[in-house]
Amino acid sequence: MPWQALLNRDPHLPENPDLAEGYATLLQTLGAVTPFELAVRGGRMMTTPGLAFLVGYQAALRMLWPSAPLSLGALCATEQRSLRPADMQTRLAALRVSGRKDFVTAGDAADWLLIAARSEEEGQSPRLQLAVVYAGEPGVRVEKLPAIPLMPDISHGRLLLDNAQCELLAGDGWDAYVKPFRTLEDIYVLSAMTAWLYGIGQDSDWPQNLQLKLLGLLAGCAEVSRQPPNHGAGHVLLGGLFAQFDALKAELNQTFADGPPQWAALWARDQAVLELAAGARAKRLAKALAGSSLN
């Protein structure tokens, strides 16, 4: 990570209501970057927490699928608010996929979609594979859902698949993709959101000590990003990062309250995004701690 690029006071990119165009502009501005650089430098340049979240989400996708296209993408797994393979109804038949995914981040703007789909024979235990489909292809349709109060600038969609042609990624869909993505998303979204906060702190002349704390948190994120997402040690270290972030909340909230109201309003509206996966993250941490000397 070229840290000097973060320490410089680069301007925020203008907000673009077209998420795909805005993301393409970001990539053009950054040039060739690693996923961690994308999350941190890109998150720093965004104008809202929601857009920083989207950049972190895209970085996590590129860790999951390193050969992913450069354009905007999405992972489609949840059905009826569940990620359990046994609850999924989306099915593969040869190189065709049918079913629906109910909540796809930026689904209407995504160029490519990773689909968790059942592939076991009748009577066997549920087994997932990951399929790739492309927006606009026959049998691929995304319905844009109404905006929600949290990050209303990031759209969500419902994906409908009707015998759509697909490609398959190698490996088990659950163990190699859906399960590790939970951890990857935590790492890269935390990185992007912390970088956004650091950028606001630079622009608003926050106390130097708070800016240094945010930089220290980002340095920890860099180390955790190098850990395999399925290793217990990485989950323990990630738990430490979220503990650091939680310890900053009161100071952050007070600093926002003392500064420009537009930033305070955005943070008050969207900061809960980092708590959405707190339950699953706590379970992973508890399991990892059970096998460590910290228990």
In a shared domain, residues 104 and 189: no
Confidence of residue 4 (pLDDT cuts 50, 70, 90): confident
In a shared domain, residues 123 and 245: no
Confidence of residue 7 (pLDDT cuts 50, 70, 90): confident
Specify the pLDDT at position 294: 63
In a shared domain, residues 187 and 273: yes
Confidence of residue 63 (pLDDT cuts 50, 70, 90): very high
**What CATH number should be reported for the domain holding residue 80?**
2.40.110.10
In a shared domain, residues 17 and 158: no
- Looking at the predicted structure, is the pLDDT value of residue 23 above 80? yes
Q: What is the mean pLDDT of residues 89-107?
A: 95
Residue 295 lies in a domain: no
Confidence of residue 293 (pLDDT cuts 50, 70, 90): low
Residue 269 lies in a domain: yes
Task: Examine the fold and report which residue of 168, 203, 233 is the final residue of a domain before the chain moves on.
Answer: 168
Specify the pairing of strand 156-165 against strand 96-105.
antiparallel
In a shared domain, residues 57 and 160: no
Q: What is the mean pLDDT of residues 174-194?
A: 97
Confidence of residue 242 (pLDDT cuts 50, 70, 90): very high
Query: What is the tens place of the pLDDT at every residue in 143-179?
Result: 999 999 999 999 999 999 999 999 999 999 999 999 9
Amino acid at 187: I
Specify the pLDDT at position 122: 84
Residue 82 lies in a domain: yes
Q: What is the mean pLDDT of residues 243-254?
A: 97
In a shared domain, residues 145 and 195: no
Specify the pLDDT at position 46: 97
Task: Examine the fold and report which residue of 168, 203, 231 is the final residue of a domain before the chain moves on.
Answer: 168
Residue 100 and residue 90 in contact, taking contact as beta carbons nearer than 8 Å? yes
In a shared domain, residues 259 and 182: yes
Q: What is the mean pLDDT of residues 266-285?
A: 92
Specify the pLDDT at position 260: 94
CA–CA distance, 270 with 56 (Å, rounded to integer): 15
Query: What is the tens place of the pLDDT at every residue in 212-221?
Result: 999 999 999 9
What percentage of residues in the chain have a pLDDT greater than 90?
Answer: 89
Q: What is the mean pLDDT of residues 184-197?
A: 98
Contacts of 127 (CB under 8 A, 6+ apart): 85, 118, 119, 120, 172, 173, 174
- Looking at the predicted structure, is the pLDDT value of residue 295 above 60? no
In a shared domain, residues 107 and 185: no
Residue 243 lies in a domain: yes
- Looking at the predicted structure, is the pLDDT value of residue 112 above 60? yes
Q: How many domains does the chain have?
A: 2
Confidence of residue 36 (pLDDT cuts 50, 70, 90): very high
In a shared domain, residues 183 and 286: yes
For residue 77, the enclosing domain spans 73-168
Query: What is the tens place of the pLDDT at every residue in 282-291?
Result: 999 999 998 7
Angle between the N-to-C axes of helices 278-290 and 179-203, in degrees from 0 to 180, rounded to the nearest 10 = 110
User: Around Cβ 271, how many Cβ atoms within 10 Å?
Assistant: 17
In a shared domain, residues 161 and 202: no
Task: Examine the fold and report which residue of 142, 168, 194 is the final residue of a domain before the chain moves on.
Answer: 168
Q: What is the mean pLDDT of residues 227-237?
A: 93
Residue 108 lies in a domain: yes
Residue 23 lies in a domain: yes
**Phi, psi dihedral angles at 73 (to 5 degrees):** -135, 180
Find, among 70, 75, 141, the residue nearest to 108 by Cα.
Answer: 141
- Mean pLDDT value across the chain: 95
For 153, the 3-state DSSP assignment is: coil
In a shared domain, residues 78 and 143: yes
In a shared domain, residues 182 and 277: yes
Q: What is the mean pLDDT of residues 7-20?
A: 90
